[in-house]
Amino acid sequence: MALLAGSVPARAQVGAGGYFVRSSDPFGESEGVGARLQVGAPLVPVSLVLNGEWFFPDCGTSDCSLKGLTLDANYALAVPLLQPYVGVGWSVQQHTLAGQTSTKRGLNLGVGIVLALKSIRPFVDVRYRPSKVFSGNPYALRIGLMIH
Which amino acid does the sequence have at 119?
A: S
Q: Is residue 110 scored above 80 in pLDDT? A: yes
Distance from C-alpha of 112 to C-alpha of 120, rounded to nearest angstrom: 16
For 123-148, write each residue's pLDDT tens digit.
Answer: 999 999 876 656 666 889 999 999 98
For 14-32, write each residue's pLDDT tens digit.
Answer: 999 999 999 887 777 889 9
58 pLDDT band, cuts 50/70/90, is confident
State phi, psi for 80 to the nearest 5 degrees: -60, 145
Domain count, the chain: 1
State phi, psi for 3 to the nearest 5 degrees: -65, -40
Instruction: List the one residue out of 41, 36, 43, 4 whose CA is nearest residue 19.
Output: 36
What pLDDT is stored for residue 7 in this prediction? 40
Q: Judge whether 6 lies within some domain.
A: no
Q: What is the 3 state secondary structure string of 8-71? A: CCCCCEEEEEEEEEEEEECCEEEEEEEEEEEEECCCCCEEEEEEEEEECCCCCCCCEEEEEEEE
Structure pTM?
A: 0.85
Least confident of 1-15, 28-42, 100-114, 116-130: 1-15
Q: Judge whether 87 lies within some domain.
A: yes
Please give the mean pLDDT across all residues of the chain: 86
Q: Judge whether 3 lies within some domain.
A: no
Cβ proximity of 51 and 76 under 8 Å: no
Q: Judge whether 7 lies within some domain.
A: no
Q: Judge whether 83 lies within some domain.
A: yes
CATH code, domain with 143: 2.40.160.20
Range of the domain at 58: 12-147
CA angle 87, 53, 145 (to 5 degrees): 65
For 36-53, write each residue's pLDDT tens digit.
Answer: 999 998 888 999 999 999
